[in-house]
Structure 1
Amino acid sequence: MTMHTPVRRALLSVSDKTGLVDFAKFLESRGVDILSTGGTAKAMRDAGVAVTDVSDFTGFPEMLDGRVKTLHPKVHGGILGIRGNADHESAMSEHGIAPIDLVVVNLYPFEETVAKGADFDTCIENIDIGGPGMIRAAAKNHAAVTVVVDPEDYDAVKEAMEANDGDTTPDLRKRLAATAYARTGAYDAAISGWFARQVGDELPRRFALGGLRKQTLRYGENPHQQAAFYTTGEARPGVATAEQVQGKELSYNNLNDTDAAFELAAEFDEPAVAIIKHANPCGVAVGGSIVEAYKRALACDPVSAFGGIVAINRPIDKAAAEEITKIFTEVVIAPDADEEARAVFAAKKNLRLLLTGGMPDPAEEGLTLKTLSGGFLVQSRDSGRVTESALKVATQRQPDDREMRDMLIAFRICKHVKSNAIIYVKDGATVGIGAGQMSRVDSARIAAAKAKDAAEAAGAEQPATVGSVVASDAFFPFADGLLAAAEAGATAVIQPGGSMRDDEVVKAADEKGLAMVMTGMRHFRH
């Protein structure tokens, strides 16, 4: 049996004091007795709110540098006691345990402490113990107790109490209980992930994942799918941490494509632009300026670039903004943009402009996840890079300096193209991209065909693949893929090697006069 009565006693202990004073004043106006601790109590007292210290309520002082203050039967008994249960109420009366009807707790800022790069001991001290205990207890007893872990839920509690003579509703208490368990679950996930990293166990026996909903999306990949965007607290510059300067809300596909674009642009030290469509690049280039890089990236496939995502690894100036806005673009993401560039973008109301304040480090370690039915796959981020010194020349002809530079650029791009991937690059710009084909030779032919289309559209005498280099994300299983690249005009090839038919492929390259290098590293992306 559960008895519904007005909220008479509340315990408030928060690290995030947003809206605290206004909420406390509301509770006081409803005649609610307020219990609190430490800085929370001080903030309310400074605002003129009457507060009882938890230590006075329990008759037991805070101790061990504040580690023990709410871990007491009078607190947990007051939260967990079942209202209307004769045995519970008798025990509570015998031991002087007063019921606590509302628990407002948010936790020590562990995630923020880790994100700031704090040392091990500081992170440990920011692991909350009493807070999760109270939250979980209140959520368990949600039949009678209201639990609030986010300041954004204060208004819902106020409205319910005003509409129900000081009580909250069962539906609200149940919803807030679900929110509470999600919060403690995410908190423990953050701690367990951090702790696993401290002991060098990136893939622990139990893998916990938590996130904070940043945005409820209109739909997922398709209109019949529900979707939301969650952040993990990772400080890596990108779509999760960016400031959206203008434009309507990002969609599921926008977010996915923008992340792919920005991670690709980050691969390069010189000014670089990546244009993405459906999570694959349709043009990538480096140049002496952003304008130059953008024009050369666009030239690779101007048809596909329409309505695409543009990622830039430099602050945007007016000239670059004017060039980008000549065609319809869904999203532009960059570390920054000057005032003149922002004014140019502002004239395009449908364009979303995201500024991140920095670039992600492509060599930084991290984890990526992919869901499966009944589970998920976890792997380390593909931070692999090849350098010229690590390459093995497999052919009779050595690549020249231009070919070597373009091959290294092409192989970096390969990492961000769906397999099977074939990339043609010439003078620091993609000139043909074949992505996601079941056959590697088909990827080579599609890339060459798109280069021909681009040449015809530009009025060029021949496709830019003539005199280019070609990269393959994995080995050529047969010589046919390499021969297709040679037919397109490529003069040098970079590929992982490791096929049973490497000798056959090398022989074909020698017969065509191609230079070919082996990386020993592949870049599958599915």
Structure 2
Amino acid sequence: MSDLKKMYAALLGDAFPQEMTITLGKTALVYRKRSWAIRNAEGQLEERGLRYGENPDQEAALYELVNGNLVLGDCRFIGPGQGLVSALEVGDMLQVGKHPGKINLTDVDNGLNIIKYFMDSPAAVILKHNNPSGAALGDSLVQAYARANNCDRIAAFGGALVVNRPVDRASAEAMAENYLEVVCAPDFEEGTLDVLGRRKNLRILRIHAIERLVSYEHARFLDFKSLIDGGLIVQQSAVNRIRSAADLLPAACTYKGQDYRCAREPDEREIRDMIFGWAVEHGVTSNSVLFVKDGCTVGIGAGEQDRVGVAEIAVLKAYRNAAQALALDHFGKAYAGLAEAEKAEIDAQVKADRAGLQGSVMISDAFFPFRDGAEVGIREGVSAILQAGGSIRDFESIEACNEARPQVAMKFTGCRSFKH
């Protein structure tokens, strides 16, 4: 077992070149490999790149765009000098811990991808394997973190936390109670590094440019997918088009000459949660369904092959996570460690509360092909649904909302939010 543990602590190194150039037509994009002078166990400075890739036997390198401005058609892509994760300096690694590998940095990157839509309020996103386990807004940073963490305390274990406000003392104390792999923030107030430093392996990253994230909202980058034959698929990155109530479409359709329309319109709170939830969806692997309430995720289902299945998984996770949170809050221990009588008490409370799903908003990253997907949420008492629309059987989902008691509001986005 000790040998296996050493495997994850090892530094693999890499043979990738210091510079990489990609030529698209007459434009050359120049990338420079990132490395950092980090002290080793003997206290000597050692130049290091990424710890390793997705697994300890995969070499990997981090590159920053340093030259070349790409314009394709009417799209101007992000240019040099605007780096976030790829521009990390060694001075921004306020605590190195086990210095970061690929997964740590891609988790932070996706956290920035989500949190860029929430810059007006304190916000926190916790990620695990490039999917959010919890995302939340708050009146303060400590509240936003607590809500995001409470969404899925199990998955948050060993996760990467990204916040959009400087970490204060109260937030640092709350974060230090949990095992996190990474904490990323625009800054850290005096004394907070000592608090967070109780976790010696924690990577503490500072990205000053988080404050500029709003400017990334409509900016595109080149998205590369490598194929097993050495080929590449290149696409523009996605842009979130659903940013206000004006961007939402009526849930309406015509089927076999008959018009269908959702009878109930969402209220202001439901619209806010629709906008919030669709922004979180922007960073969730497809197929995905999530439930949100009052600017916080309640349950997240990600990366499944069918939409009904992923909706059911999101519900199951909401119930599991609610039970876990209550067990820790009421008895100070994990649900699995409770006595049978204690479990029965927690189960009864979760059932009565419907795990927080009642009154929540259900978000689907694409259309429901049949009404059964929407019915998963309706059975749990959701008050509103946001989905792409565009199925030949949209009328079924509309009917399901109209037949619900109380009636459920529904809006269409007119676009999907797939992420693979």
Instruction: Tell me the TM-score range normalised by the shorter chain.
Output: 0.7 to 0.9
The corresponding residue for 2:112 is 262
Q: Is 1:362 matched up with 2:217?
A: yes
Q: Distance in 2 between matches of 1:369 and 1:244?
A: 27
Deviation at residue 385 of structure 1 after TM alignment = 2.5
Match of 1:232 among 61, 65, 80: 65
| CA-based RMSD | 2.0
Contact 2:166-2:187 within 8 A present in 1 as well: yes
Q: Is 1:222 matched up with 2:222?
A: no
Q: Distance in 1 between matches of 2:173 and 2:195?
A: 6
Q: Is 1:252 matched up with 2:98?
A: no
Q: Distance in 1 between matches of 2:95 and 2:176?
A: 14
Aligned positions of 1:457-472 closer than 5 A: 457=324, 458=326, 459=346, 460-461=349-350, 462=353, 463-472=355-364
Contact 1:406-1:425 within 8 A present in 2 as well: yes
Q: Which amino acid aligns with 1:309?
A: A
Question: Residue 319 and residue 235 in structure 1: after superposition, are their counterparts in 2 closer, same or farther (change >3 A)?
Answer: farther
Deviation at residue 237 of structure 1 after TM alignment = 4.9
Q: Is 1:400 matched up with 2:270?
A: no
Helix, strand or coil for the counterpart of 2:87? coil
Contact 1:396-1:515 within 8 A present in 2 as well: yes
Which structure is richer in relative contact order (CA contacts within 8 A, separation 6 or more)? Answer: 2
The corresponding residue for 1:483 is 375
Q: Is 1:445 matched up with 2:265?
A: no
Specify every segment of 5 or more residues in structure 2 that has no aligned partner in the other structure, as ranges.
1-14, 36-48, 67-79, 252-261, 327-345
Q: Distance in 1 between matches of 2:193 and 2:380?
A: 41
Is the deviation greater in 365-374 or in 276-285? 365-374
Match of 1:213 among 33, 43, 68: 33
Q: Is 1:377 matched up with 2:233?
A: yes
Q: Distance in 2 between matches of 1:297 and 1:502?
A: 32
Contact 1:239-1:354 within 8 A present in 2 as well: no
Aligned positions of 1:83-482 closer than 5 A: 183=19, 186=21, 189=22, 204-205=24-25, 209-215=29-35, 216-233=49-66, 234-242=80-88, 243-247=92-96, 248-268=98-118, 269-359=120-210, 360=213, 361-372=216-227, 373-386=229-242, 387-394=244-251, 395-457=262-324, 458=326, 459=346, 460-461=349-350, 462=353, 463-482=355-374
Deviation at residue 212 of structure 1 after TM alignment = 1.6
- CA displacement 1:111-138 (0-9 Å, x = unmatched): xxxxxxxxxxxxxxxxxxxxxxxxxxxx
Counting aligned pairs with the same residue, the percent is 40
Contact 1:262-1:333 within 8 A present in 2 as well: no
Deviation at residue 517 of structure 1 after TM alignment = 0.2
Q: Distance in 1 between matches of 2:308 and 2:165?
A: 35
Question: Residue 286 and residue 223 in structure 1: after superposition, are their counterparts in 2 closer, same or farther (change >3 A)?
Answer: same
Contact 1:421-1:435 within 8 A present in 2 as well: yes
Helix, strand or coil for the counterpart of 1:283? strand
Q: Which amino acid aligns with 1:421?
A: S
Contact 1:286-1:428 within 8 A present in 2 as well: yes
Contact 1:267-1:412 within 8 A present in 2 as well: yes
Q: Distance in 1 between matches of 2:281 and 2:359?
A: 19
Q: Distance in 1 between matches of 2:191 and 2:368?
A: 48
Contact 1:422-1:470 within 8 A present in 2 as well: yes
Is the deviation greater in 506-515 or in 439-448? 506-515
Give the alignment's TM-score, normalised by structure 1.
0.60
Q: Distance in 2 between matches of 1:385 and 1:241?
A: 27
Structure having the higher helix fraction is: 1
Helix, strand or coil for the counterpart of 1:385? coil
Helix, strand or coil for the counterpart of 2:305? coil
Q: Distance in 1 between matches of 2:65 and 2:402?
A: 50
- CA displacement 1:408-428 (0-9 Å, x = unmatched): 101111110000111100111
Contact 2:241-2:247 within 8 A present in 1 as well: no
Contact 2:93-2:204 within 8 A present in 1 as well: yes
Deviation at residue 218 of structure 1 after TM alignment = 3.6
Q: Distance in 2 between matches of 1:368 and 1:219?
A: 21
Structure having the higher strand fraction is: 2
Q: Is 1:497 matched up with 2:400?
A: no
- CA displacement 1:27-65 (0-9 Å, x = unmatched): xxxxxxxxxxxxxxxxxxxxxxxxxxxxxxxxxxxxxxx
- CA displacement 1:210-255 (0-9 Å, x = unmatched): 4222143343212222222222234335321232111231012111
Q: Distance in 2 between matches of 1:447 and 1:270?
A: 26
Specify every segment of 5 or more residues in structure 1 that has no aligned partner in the other structure, as ranges.
1-174, 193-203
Contact 1:385-1:412 within 8 A present in 2 as well: no
Q: Distance in 1 between matches of 2:55 and 2:129?
A: 13
Helix, strand or coil for the counterpart of 1:378? strand
Contact 2:176-2:198 within 8 A present in 1 as well: no
Helix, strand or coil for the counterpart of 1:227? coil
Q: Distance in 1 between matches of 2:370 and 2:25?
A: 40
Deviation at residue 209 of structure 1 after TM alignment = 4.9
Deviation at residue 207 of structure 1 after TM alignment = 7.2
Question: Residue 217 and residue 365 in structure 1: after superposition, are their counterparts in 2 closer, same or farther (change >3 A)?
Answer: closer
Give the alignment's TM-score, normalised by structure 2.
0.75
Q: Distance in 1 between matches of 2:267 and 2:127?
A: 30
Helix, strand or coil for the counterpart of 2:279? helix
Question: Residue 426 and residue 237 in structure 1: after superposition, are their counterparts in 2 closer, same or farther (change >3 A)?
Answer: farther
Question: Residue 236 and residue 264 in structure 1: after superposition, are their counterparts in 2 closer, same or farther (change >3 A)?
Answer: farther
Contact 2:65-2:83 within 8 A present in 1 as well: no
Q: Distance in 1 between matches of 2:172 and 2:287?
A: 33
Q: Which amino acid aligns with 2:250?
A: V
Contact 1:274-1:297 within 8 A present in 2 as well: yes
Is the deviation greater in 241-250 or in 468-477? 241-250
Q: Which amino acid aligns with 1:480?
A: D
